[in-house]
A and B are shown apart, each in its own frame.
Chain A
Amino acid sequence: MTTLWDTTGTAVVKALAAERRAGGAVMSGLALTLVVVVEEKQVGEAEEAARIAASVVPCRMLMVVRRQVDAPVPRLDAEVLIGGRLGPGESIVMRMYGRLALHAESVVLPLLAPDAPVVTWWHGPPPDVIAHDPLGIVADRRITECSYLPDPAGALEIRAADYLPGDTDLAWTRTTGWRAALAAALDSVEGTVTGGTVEGDPGTPSRLLLAGWLSARLGCHIALESAVDAKGGTAISGARLELDTGRVIDLKRADPRSVSVKGGAGPDTVIQLPKRSLGDLLGEELRRLDDDQLYGEALATTTGTSGLTERSGGRRHVWQDPAEQAAAPT
């Protein structure tokens, strides 16, 4: 491990090269570069998640912590590790102070693994417009977390307005288990779904995305029910599908690890659906590097945005100075 205080981007690149040489077994098969944008108080959480995800998909992890944008003098501190605390890959944790925080890409660009895909993950409130953050511009896949915003419906609308192929949100990743369970329950069942409900914590966007996905796929209205889930604090606590044959498929969270399934083709049963760690969710995202069209469709249906899935192309950076924004009267 190399720790550099008050350093420059060039010194970080040199330190990484030196660590690679000293490591002996140089990682030759980097699949991607993961850029993590995070606030200081969440660094520990993000490091843990990146460590788990890196064991699934070895990657070069660049963590950018922006601090004190108003600090008078720009400054860069960096920590370069290969193996160890942050998983088997190469990791660089960088703290950027002052105006440098607005130009984080100047440090990050030379550190990206050559010609490998880049994934940027904002662990914290996502930018309203991804084009404002240059770290989102360089990325092939962008992972946001709407659950950091107080109003889930509003947060998804912002994402829908800003959506381009390659965007996903961890609120969508959180629905995978439920989506698999619902799809499995509907296997080998005769009839057409005419309606249903999704029940969950009103504070989470996952509930909305699951309902949006169901209604996009099934072509019927899916009602939302609020339930403050007392059993393990998971976002979604149940889902029901009503069929024209009179059959009702009912999935309900039984405890933090499992979900009961009633009304499927087989006998009633209980399936394992444990709450997943942040690292698991991130690992799932990194496994796939093409854009997730189903997320686009679910997001479009959830927010009622038309034409969202037809969008294409990339983003261009739009300069925005938070200092000017703060000074301007709103």
Chain B
Amino acid sequence: MATELTEHSHNPLRDPRDRRLPRVPEACALVVFGITGDLARKKLLPAFYDLANRGLLPTNFALLGFARRDWGDGDFVSLAEKAARDYARTPWRDDVWDQLAGNMKFIPGSFDDDDAFDNLAKTLKDMGHTHGIQGNAAFFLSIPPAMFPVVLQQMQRTGMADNDESGGWRRVVVEKPFGHDLESAIELNTLVDDVFGWRDVYRIDHYLGKETVQNLLALRFANTLFEPVWNAHHVDSVQITMAEDGGIGSRAAFYDETGAARDVLQNHLLQLLALTAMEEPVQFIPSAIRTEKLKVLRAVTVPEDLASYAIRGQYEQGWLAGERVAGYRQEKDVPEDSSTETYAALRLGVETRRWAGVPFYLRTGKRLPRRVTEIALSFRKAPHLPFAKTDTEELGHNQLVVRVQPDEGMTLKFGSKVPGSMMEVRDVSMDFLYGETFTEASPEAYERLLLDVLLGDAMLFPLNEEVEASWAVIDPLEDYWAGAQPHSYRAGEWGPDEADEMLARDGRVWRRP
């Protein structure tokens, strides 16, 4: 696979050493299906305004919205303006917006309407002249997966997905969920890859757009300090946590079908695990990184004793951040006897020479005390301590914690002498806060990922086989859990007691993030 970004190489004014010039995509159009949805309004449209404001969109850029509304371009522009004003990260500038708004178009129609897709294909073709997009277009499918077949089929029928026919590149962006089990994921991947070709499919896992996640690669592979201890000889265990304080919001119908394991474990947590555990890629290019991630995902093993090491929970009513919150089964539109989990904790192994014997504890949940995502490596204790036993009572495991959100950064925890006449060693922590050392405002994950799609940089997007390998991990758990009731925990607690017992059984405790 080619590296990427070769398209500008013939331009003598571009030089890889010229780090001042922004990476700007070629002239192109972006078509968003389901532009009126939540994701489009809260994330996509604001991200586009932010990109435009930072001067990262090409001069010739068009944004097309497609939805079943009886709308003109004006209605679309006003929806987009409201979305951008409400949710954009960068300050509002009328001239930036006016320019973006001048290149926005709305195509009304339902997904089974041939005329609407013919209209869309024709508009894209015309834009080659009127907007100079040269046949380049990306399609963002912000629609339920059930709609994919019909939309993709329409694109195939009109030739919109064909690079050669359009004379430029055509890419498709899909959002999670990538299926609900291995079988459906393969089906979905086959469908999308057939229409677009696997190289042109971008699966968004917005966690991978976060600075700290990318920094994990820099931390591991640019330094000499960490890699020597990054293995089973020195690491005792790894804990990967993604906690949310929020409930399920208005997603009840979707969530009750899905549950925490499919919603978060399968994608975000396993991707974080892959980045933590992967071997060094031979080169910093998408294909090499994806290869290493895939190797790890295929080496992941599920414990045999699922009853002890695959715990799921469901929140009951409780108090969170000073407010009374309802239990999961009392949430609107959730069946009273729902057995969907809102919490999942799991012990996984990675069967490679580097990680054999090191447990990877993964947990995720809703209505936990705070919103936090982190990766914590807990190191082995020193084999011998020359101090008296009483001196080191307060000394725990050395830890390296990568904080993904909030307060993106890193913490190193180690023992230090307490000042005074006694020898007493206690844990202290050393913090590195991203915002303090580098730019005040890291770009939103969506900004970065959308820009990468337009640039054709697939580094941060999971490959079809990665998705399938992740499902292969989750499927046996789902089979085991099917029909059983989850354990319960009070909203505002760190999960069910059984999850604590699971670590206690191994002589460990969960880190309080």
Contact = CB atoms under 8 A, between A and B. Distances in A.
A301 to B, nearest CB: 14
B18 interface: yes
Interface string A269-308: 1111000000000001001100011100000000000000
A87 B18 CA distance: 29
B236 interface: no
B436 to A, nearest CB: 4
B139 to A, nearest CB: 21
B510 to A, nearest CB: 27
A115 to B, nearest CB: 14
B439 A187 contact: no
A187 B55 contact: no
A269 B62 CA distance: 13
Contacts of B303: none
Interface residues of A, number: 44
B60 A183 contact: no
A297 to B, nearest CB: 9
A152 B60 CA distance: 35
B482 interface: no
Contacts of B17: 293-294
B411 to A, nearest CB: 11
Contact of B439 (A56, A185, A186, A193): A56
B15 interface: yes
A88 B441 CA distance: 13
A261 B59 contact: yes
Interface in A250-274: 257-258, 261, 264-267, 269-272
A185 B433 contact: no
Q: Which of B21, B22, B59 is the most central at the interface, judged by chain A CB atoms within 10 Å of its CB?
A: B59
A29 B436 contact: yes
B177 interface: no
Q: Which of A58, A188, A214, A261 is the most central at the interface, judged by chain B CB atoms within 10 Å of its CB?
A: A188
B183 interface: no
Interface residues of B, number: 37
A172 to B, nearest CB: 9
Nearest to A218: B12
Interface in A180-214: 180, 182-189, 193, 214
Contacts of B436: 27-29, 58
Given A28-B432, A269-B59, A187 B440 contact: no
Contacts of B60: 264-267, 269
Contact of A264 (B15, B132, B431, B439): B132
Nearest to B27: A266
A176 B20 contact: yes
Given A29-B437, A31-B437, A183 B14 contact: yes
Interface of A: 27-31, 55-58, 88, 173, 176, 179-180, 182-189, 193, 214, 217-219, 257-258, 261, 264-267, 269-272, 284, 287-288, 292-294
